[in-house]
Structure 1
């Protein structure tokens, strides 16, 4: 088998969309004849003092082997990127630009943008997970389109959700970070007159403990406090059960590099309410979702109220979501697209 070195920061078993993408991509590349050797890097994005150790581990990679580095690390390692590219094919994997994370100061966003621009400059190729990220790299980071390969996440077939009907069940899946917009959802629900609903927030509270605590405080004093449920980070079996019982999936993100949970919802025929941020409009068929501006609780409240009280509108959206199941991308397509890139790089 052909050999590929893959480097990513932190624990590869972390249950976020980016890490799940990495894990599945490596499995699909294996099916295409590529044996991946995993290198775990320290989490340099949150601790710059670990940069020397990350550089040391990357410097130990044998020359001439292609190496793909997750952007959560490569984006802040421009010196390592230059050194790696001089010794063999370097492929950057960008889920979304680091500077587009919600809650950054202007100074931090500028610093990350400059670092990532420098880190991407020597890369022989860049894999992105959405056309929106490709456009951002070309327009903001000066990356030539010829170096970019778009390999959107696949989605596995899944059984149709049954829903619950009453109480109307809203499901939101994502780590409890500011970028996911959970606070906007809670604010929107304060203005919803319909009361026969419940909302389940499934996601890790550990990636941003301060935000998770803020959300719990908001929920505790919420007019619908008894209808708000924090499920925490859940395993795949439990997550499948949550999807199965969902009537509507809600993700009011401020930015998404793709949004794998959105297509996972559609795979089960669950209609979606999300925002116009980032790659979301590219990810979702327009008739299977309702999109509102990010950070707009009024528009979100109006949309949720409408769908929970207008049976005809809701059923039309649900029918479109079920029809979309037949046209979702597969993981096999994702793997073959990246494997073809690796073959071109020799």
Structure 2
């Protein structure tokens, strides 16, 4: 049986090295993997949500569409006219309504997902949130967790003082909590490399630099800006510990990028982070989870890492074990394709959205 081509709709900046994101990386690697599997994929780049409606309207009846959620969740007006005519599966990297204080954002995302034929999230946590809060039926919401590229085990610096945070420098990613935690362990030997865009919230970045300087650790915190490809791989290879104080994560691809190299992780217990951390083959957690917005607990976890050699070795062993169980991008693409092919050509029927959880 020949499978229908997939019309894959992605943001125009999917390959912009100045704006790397987990969602863009996911889309690109899945498209590459589907193509390598001899699945016909037509890539459509959309820079303005206003262009989405004409694009979908121009596709033939019955076309199979995978629509990046960054575009789709904000455009119910583009999806509703083609609902039931196109088989649209929204690939929701993050439920944007989860952090929204404006009810109109929630209504828009809910209406967009209800007009689709199916929804794919990147974690069990995100799937649960969408089902509970948007009233979607469980049989129309699936999960395709991000894969990771295989990598050699990084060289571990015995004292473990090379810390790395891989995330755009924004309030959502909790760099302020991380700097506050590091100020509490200024007596220990460590350096922090923050890899990620610094121009999204420049005032926040300036405040971070001032805070670090005032705490006497300014010369130990480096902001590199975004890195991709070999430079990112080099940075990960030279890290002893990945640290994330993020306040929101649908999955946490930075976590699996580190674990793929056997680099241990200390991250916040938010969203899908615990799924990214995962467990060892012996059933032990493969990293340390701490509460968000708690610099004291984060500082304690980092102090334990830096001062307890046995603890470091246990975490390193756990990370090396976890790397053997991580999914590949081929696994992700195969799962996404199976979901898309099984999705019926009919819109989702939601529960009473006035009763959907808030």
Task: Please give the TM-score of this superposition, normalised by the length of structure 1.
Answer: 0.91
- The answer to whether the 8 Å contact 1:194/1:305 transfers is no
Partner of 2:353: none
Tell which deviates more after alignment, 56-65 or 248-257.
56-65
In structure 1, distance between residues paired with 2:96 and 2:244: 20
In structure 2, distance between residues paired with 1:285 and 1:234: 25
Partner of 1:128: 121
Partner of 1:10: 12
- The answer to whether the 8 Å contact 1:100/1:255 transfers is no
Taking the TM superposition and a 5 Å limit, the aligned residue runs for 1:223-302 are 223-286=216-279, 287-302=285-300
Q: Structure 1 residue 210: deviation in Å?
A: 3.5
Q: Structure 1 residue 34: deviation in Å?
A: 2.4
Tell which deviates more after alignment, 81-90 or 328-337.
81-90
- The answer to whether the 8 Å contact 1:32/1:339 transfers is no
Partner of 1:38: 43
- The answer to whether the 8 Å contact 1:193/1:305 transfers is no
- The answer to whether the 8 Å contact 2:173/2:247 transfers is yes
- The answer to whether the 8 Å contact 1:179/1:255 transfers is yes
The C-alpha deviation readout for 1:87-117, integer Å capped at 9, x for no partner, is 210110001101234xx5x22xx22111101
Partner of 1:46: none
Residues 304/5 of structure 1: CA separation in 2 closer, same or farther (3 Å cut): same
Report the number of matched residues.
334
Residues 83/211 of structure 1: CA separation in 2 closer, same or farther (3 Å cut): farther
2:339 pairs with 1:341: yes
Residues 183/157 of structure 1: CA separation in 2 closer, same or farther (3 Å cut): same
In structure 1, distance between residues paired with 2:62 and 2:197: 39
In structure 2, distance between residues paired with 1:214 and 1:23: 34
- The answer to whether the 8 Å contact 2:12/2:46 transfers is yes
In structure 2, distance between residues paired with 1:285 and 1:335: 20
Q: Structure 1 residue 167: deviation in Å?
A: 7.0
Taking the TM superposition and a 5 Å limit, the aligned residue runs for 1:195-210 are 195-210=188-203
Question: Quick one: which of 55, 58, 63 aligns to 1:57?
Answer: 55
Q: 5+ unaligned residues in a row in structure 1: which ranges?
A: 44-50
Q: Structure 1 residue 166: deviation in Å?
A: 4.7
Tell which deviates more after alignment, 34-43 or 92-101.
34-43
**Structure 1 runs of 4+ with >4 Å offset:** none
Taking the TM superposition and a 5 Å limit, the aligned residue runs for 1:101-180 are 101=99, 106-107=101-102, 110-166=103-159, 168-180=161-173
Q: Structure 1 residue 258: deviation in Å?
A: 0.8
Structure number with higher relative contact order (C-alpha < 8 Å, ≥ 6 residues apart): 2
Secondary structure class of the residue paired with 1:201: strand
Q: 5+ unaligned residues in a row in structure 2: which ranges?
A: 280-284, 345-358
Taking the TM superposition and a 5 Å limit, the aligned residue runs for 1:81-120 are 81-101=79-99, 106-107=101-102, 110-120=103-113
Task: Please give the TM-score of this superposition, normalised by the length of structure 2.
Answer: 0.88
In structure 2, distance between residues paired with 1:4 and 1:167: 45
